Amino acid sequence: MMTASPRYRLLVTSALAGLAVPGLASPVAAQDAATAPVAAAACEPGTPCPPEDDVITLDTITVSATRTDSAPIDSLASVSVVRLSDPKGPPTGSVPAIFLGVPGVATPSKGDDAGSAINIRGLQNFGRVAVTVDGARQNYQQTGHGPDGVFFLDPALIEDVTVVRGPIANVYGSGAVGGVVSFRTKNPSDFLRSDETWAVQGRAAYGTNGDELVLGTTAAYRFSDQFAVLGSLSTNRQNDFDDGDGNTVFNSGEDLLSGMLKAEFSPAEFHTVTLGYLASRFDYDSGAVGATNYGSEVIDQTASANWRYANPDDRLFDINASAYWTGTDKTDTYLTGADAGAGRSFEIGTGGFDVANTSRFETGAFAHAVTLGGDLFRDDVTTSDLVGTGDLFTPSGQRTAYGAFVQDQISYSNWLEIVGGLRFDGYEFSGGEAEGDGTRLSPKLAVGVKPFEETFAEGLQLYGSYAEGYRAPAITETLISGIHPGSFSFDFLPNPDLEPEVAHNFELGVNYARDSLFTEGDRLRLKAAWFHNDVDDYIDAVFAYNPVTRRFQYQYQNVADATLTGVELEATYDMGFMFAGLAASHIRGDNNVSDEPLTTVPADKIVSTLGFRFLEEKLTVGAQWAAVFEQDRVPAGTPGSDAYNLVNLFATYEPRENLILGVSVENLFDEQYTDYLNDSASQGISVMFSLSARLGG
């Protein structure tokens, strides 16, 4: 397992995610949204946006699910944005490293698995958190002793990540009762500067713990103002790493090779088409000491196509449409036992599309931005295990989920914003002799006010929201069957009559943005929220003794009700030569039927960052401290976790333009710790050296 290493400046922010994320922009921005597509204000169509090196991430323009652009700090929802593309920042070499400083987010994983999972506000598994790459759903799932739902991704290909917390995120599609994590890969317009026709950038890095070696190259060419292409290739090889006690973590190494092709072209004025293809191969050994071991190979592919029409003078049409396909094929070869040499496979193909249009108009003093949209995806799961039980615990089958939504974003003057929306969801599944379906309407409502002007609290915004989410049962939850192997034998029972989960989320939040607060040119951005999420018909695994069969049995059931509550805080302060960040989260979750805590609630954490810039900002040095609390609020029989402190250092230096040297120290004090929700110790101290060089013209 790669450790969660904070090798980046804390870039935690708030953005809006459309229908399910009430309040796309501040009242002023919402007024603009109702009169013209905001995308045109961010950067002219067909030209690259300027570099954001001098902009803190809270102010980064990001695209929400309403198909408009807005600054994250203006959102009426809990959303964070992390930029991975700045070579001057500390490197983010693993998926867990990206999310260490994001409140309410954890990355459960197995030490012997290259896949990553996301937990948002105590919800994970089976699509409760929707993960997308360039809009393409990542729905791979393999039942075992780790998270039920992982994705395979190389962070070197990523431009930025948007995290939407809570069921308000379901405009990205059905199922996201916990939230959405949306990865966006590099586009030619992200990589090429405005005065460049071509550019090439190479990067190399070496980590001392596990002899990690990272190599990557990205190149782009602009054929004309209407057409540009980009290609990227990356490798990452790491041996088994050592934990804080100096013990080697078994099967924690991996080999990764990934590549990407992107193309952007404008067939006509105000029209932009983006095509992308990603492919990655992960090679690693899996399995615990003394148990069955496998040689695992994962081939992950994502193809996407997006069309955007954004004419500032066209108030009727602002269209964003996408289609995609994701294929994840995992092959395991038995390395130990009587079946050594045999194989098993887990394959899932997901195809889908989404489309939305925003129209803008006024009724008296009220400005409206009305968005209509729809989406659909289909999962095809095929598993095979001729000598084992893998195909029983991860059954084959098909599932289709679809939906449509309408949203009206209303603004009045520069202080009031109201967003109302309604989403329709439907699903159907089949596998073996079982099948099922269901539909539901889910409302959303948010109100935001800026009550003060021309005072110290002028940048203060208060908001409240209510949103519902809907998650259909997964194929595995409904169709799993078979007998658990080994000395402890019990029965897995299918349950095709499972009811979908319905989440009811209340949230109260505060946004605060001020410039030149303590000194000329400084910037403070702060976001805090309280949430209360009730999930009806919550699906959980029930393990019980059956007196009729005289055997234990394991079955997914609707446990009727689960409640998750918590508070989150994220803030950044930047005064040029110094920057600081703070992120904190406190979450509690309960199964209201058994009156016990939920097993998937991560430990409380506080992450702080402090950095300085010298030599005309050519030299950046900083430190990050993560204080993770003890997790002893767990169900009976479930092991908890101890508290720990993680200190990391980072520095980058630009001796000349386009040449950047970096060094980071992860786990400075060689802390021995195991994250709650993980099954093995995390990485001990490691020093990583990096070099980035760029040519362009």
% of the chain at pLDDT higher than 70: 88
Query: Is the CB of residue 99 less than 8 Å from the CB of residue 143?
Result: no
In the structure, what pLDDT confidence band is assigned to residue 73 with cuts at 50, 70 and 90? confident
Q: How many CB atoms lie within 10 A of CB 674?
A: 18
Any idea which of 305-319, 323-337, 386-400 has the lowest mean pLDDT?
386-400
Domain layout of the chain by residue ranges: 18-696
Task: Name the amino acid, one letter, at 272.
Answer: T
Collapsing DSSP to helix, strand or coil, 27 comes out as helix
Query: Taking the CA of residue 81 as centre, how many other CA atoms within 13 Å lie in the half-sphere pointing to its CB?
Result: 27
Separation CA 108–CA 151 (nearest Å): 12
Q: Are strands 158-165 and 578-591 parallel, antiparallel or unpaired?
A: unpaired
Among 507, 555, 505, which residue's Cα sits nearest to residue 535? 505
Could you tell me the two tokens for 325?
A: 């396909």
Confidence of residue 62 (pLDDT cuts 50, 70, 90): low
Mean pLDDT of 434-453: 91
**Average pLDDT for 204-212:** 95
* Distance between CA atoms of residues 255 and 238, nearest Å: 6
pLDDT at 586: 98
Residues 513-531: pLDDT tens digits? 999 989 999 999 999 999 9
Query: d(Cα 266, Cα 309) in Å, to the nearest integer?
Result: 10
The pLDDT value given to residue 9: 31
Mean of the pLDDT values across residues 561-565? 94
pLDDT, position 92: 67
Q: What is the pLDDT of residue 25?
A: 31
pLDDT at 649 over 60: yes
Q: CA-based diameter of the chain, in Å? A: 77
Q: How confident is the model at residue 61 (pLDDT cuts 50, 70, 90)?
A: low
166 pLDDT more than 80: yes
Neighbour tally for 519: CB within 10 Å: 8
Structure-block tokens of residue 505 = 């989320």
Dihedral angle at the C-alpha atoms of 283, 287, 289, 292, nearest 10 degrees? -120
Confidence of residue 191 (pLDDT cuts 50, 70, 90): very high
pLDDT (mean) for 98-125: 91
18-696 has which fold?
Answer: Maltoporin; Chain A (2.40.170)
Does residue 36 have a pLDDT over 70?
no
> Residue 433: pLDDT band by 50, 70, 90 thresholds?
confident
Mind listing the pLDDT tens digit for each residue in 574-584?
Answer: 999 999 999 99
> Percent of the chain beyond pLDDT 90?
67
Check if the beta carbon of residue 548 is closer than 8 Å to that of residue 562. Answer: no
338: number of Cβ within 10 Å = 7
Nearest Cα to Cα of residue 297 among 281, 275, 321, 315: 281
pLDDT at 47 over 50: no
Please provide the DSSP assignment of 62-77 as one string.
EE-TTS-EE-GGG-SS
Question: What's the CA gap between 262 and 249, in Å, rounded?
Answer: 37
Cβ pair 645, 671 in contact under 8 A: yes
User: What is the pLDDT averaged over residues 387-393?
Assistant: 85
C-alpha pair distances (Å), 175 with each of 97, 130, 377: 25, 7, 11
Map 506-532 to HEC letters: EEEEEEEEEECCCCCCCEEEEEEEEEE
The alpha carbons of the chain give a radius of gyration, in whole angstroms, of 24
The pLDDT score that the predictor gives to residue 60 is 64
Amino acid at position 113, single letter: D
Q: State if pTM tops 0.75.
A: yes
Residue 467's pLDDT is: 94
Q: Mean pLDDT for the chain?
A: 86
Assess contact for 294 and 285: CB atoms under 8 A: yes
The model's confidence at residue 59, banded by pLDDT at 50, 70 and 90, is low
Sign of CA dihedral 144, 145, 146, 149: positive
Task: Assess whether pLDDT exceeds 60 at residue 130.
Answer: yes
For residue 634, pLDDT over 70 is answered with yes
Tokens coding 297: 């190979």
Q: How far apart are CA 208 and CA 228, in angstroms?
A: 38
Rounded to an integer, the average pLDDT of 247-262 is 96
Q: Lowest mean pLDDT of 67-76, 133-142, 636-645, name the range.
A: 67-76
What was the pLDDT predicted at 609?
Answer: 92
In angstroms, rounded to a whole number, what is the distance separating the alpha carbons of residues 187 and 175?
28
Residue 111's pLDDT band, with cuts at 50, 70 and 90, is confident
Given a cut of 50, whether residue 29 has pLDDT beyond it is no
DSSP for 68-106, please give it.
Answer: -EE-GGG-SS-EEEEE---TTSPP--SHHHHHTTSTTEE
CB-count exposure of residue 561 (10 Å: 0-12, 13-18, 19+): middle
Q: Which of 20-34, 464-478, 487-501, 598-612 has the lowest mean pLDDT?
A: 20-34
* pLDDT number for residue 51: 39
Q: Report the alpha-carbon distance of residue 683 to residue 370 in Å, rounded.
A: 49
For the chain, how are helix, strand and coil distributed in percent, rounded to 5? 5, 55, 40
d(CA 14, CA 330): 35
| pLDDT at position 172 | 64
Helix (H, G, I), strand (E, B) or coil at 198: strand
